[in-house]
Structure 1
Amino acid sequence: MNRRTPTTDVALIAGFAALIAVCAILPDIKTGIGVPYSLQTFGVLLAGAVLGPVRGFLTVVLYLVAGLVLPIYSGGASGASHYSGVTAGYLVAFPLAAALCGYLVYRNRDRATQFTLVFTAGLLSSFLFIHTLGPLNLAWRADLSLKDAFIFDTAYFPGDIAKNVVMALVATAVHRAFPDLAGRRSRGDAAVERAEEPAADSA
């Protein structure tokens, strides 16, 4: 029984975009090369895991667009200049990572409450997009070799693994509490459907 409506979708997208903004403006850890440690990726991947590929993607796009004028990027920054700097690759990767994470979770929606599935989806999405596009742009903008840029990026691995653990715990809890988000049937809905099935004709 799926109760999704356009109004609900808009509210969820706006709400999760706000969550990403909160994660981003919380105090971060500065690095010497201009790409800080923050909770942004937690919010980005959580949006995908909870809302699915389309709504997750739109959530992050809304956040990125809002950040052009509002101080909601990492550390309370804003502006289009971030797309010509060292963080551009990471920002561009965010909606792609959210979409892939959401796709992997929703493709296996009947297992959306399983920690291993959601954690793997988040980690794979992070490494495929964020830890690829991020250092590629970093090499270009910071005048580093590709090797040095990717080596620098490995400093984020432990933190991202930890954030994906927490993300998976939160996302699976949400899917258990709200099975309609992914179009999953709750046990109660399944029982009602079985009860409403007409009895087979006797021979």
Structure 2
Amino acid sequence: MSGAPTFSARDLAQVAVFAALIIALGLPGTINIGTSGVPITLQTLGVMIAGALLGPRKGVLAVLTVIALGLALPVLAGGRTSLTSLSSATAGFLIGWIPTVALIGWLTVKLLPRYNVIVGTAINLLGGIVVLYAFGIAGMMIRADLTFAKALSLNVTFLPGDAIKAVVAAAVAAQVHRAYPALLTGRAASRATASTPAPDAA
């Protein structure tokens, strides 16, 4: 049966858990480097992990939940709200969370049978750096009236830290997928195991 995507209670619980994780990773606060105004935050690590473990649909919903909560509450790193972020030069980075988690989730689903730390890191680098920075830099060019070269130069110092996050997220995801592959591909896993007798799940 085809139709609009539906979310089970289990799906929504997972979305809530990962939304809470993203928010919790913002509690340590932020570190600002240089004059770009872009803070170093662990919340992008949470976005990568959400995509790698929940897939595109649930991952996007988790990110949208954080952004929606941020309209009223200071759930972003540094005690910021979504409105504060969206009105600043860093708006593109917050908006970029959505395509970032969607791409990481989609590629992870496609490559899950062959997923490992190396593959996961490559996926996270594509989503968490290439895509996220594309949106972030575009936002800085629009909001702060910067040239592409200037906006890019202001963000170069953040690349090593985000690369480390990509590796950490991939390592976490690889371990979880080995132990609990159905977390990401519940329906796919069901099809795969349908032809093989298995004990009842607890």
* Pair 1:172-2:174 in alignment: yes
Q: Please name the residue that 2:148 is paired with.
A: 146
Q: Please name the residue that 1:70 is paired with.
A: 73
CA drift of 1:173 comes to 1.1
Change (3 A) 1:33 1:151: closer
Measured against aligned partners, the alpha-carbon deviations of 1:66-111 in whole angstroms (never above 9, x if no partner) come to 1111111121211413212111000000011000000000012212
Q: Please name the residue that 2:43 is paired with.
A: 40
Q: Please name the residue that 1:126 is paired with.
A: 128
Q: Quote the RMSD (CA, aligned, Å).
A: 2.1
* Pair 1:94-2:103 in alignment: no
Q: Please name the residue that 1:201 is paired with.
A: none
Provide the rounded CA distance (Å) in 1 between the counterparts of 2:197 and 2:180: 22
Q: Please name the residue that 2:52 is paired with.
A: 49
Kindly provide the amino acid, as one letter, of the partner of residue 100 in structure 1: L
Q: Please name the residue that 2:18 is paired with.
A: 16
Provide the rounded CA distance (Å) in 2 between the counterparts of 1:181 and 1:94: 21
State the number of aligned residues.
189
CA drift of 1:195 comes to 5.6
Any unmatched runs of 5+ in structure 1? 197-203
Larger Rg: 1
Provide the rounded CA distance (Å) in 2 between the counterparts of 1:178 and 1:89: 34
Change (3 A) 1:117 1:87: same
CA drift of 1:144 comes to 2.1
After superposing on structure 2, the runs of 4+ consecutive aligned residues of structure 1 that deviate more than 6 Å are none
Change (3 A) 1:185 1:76: same
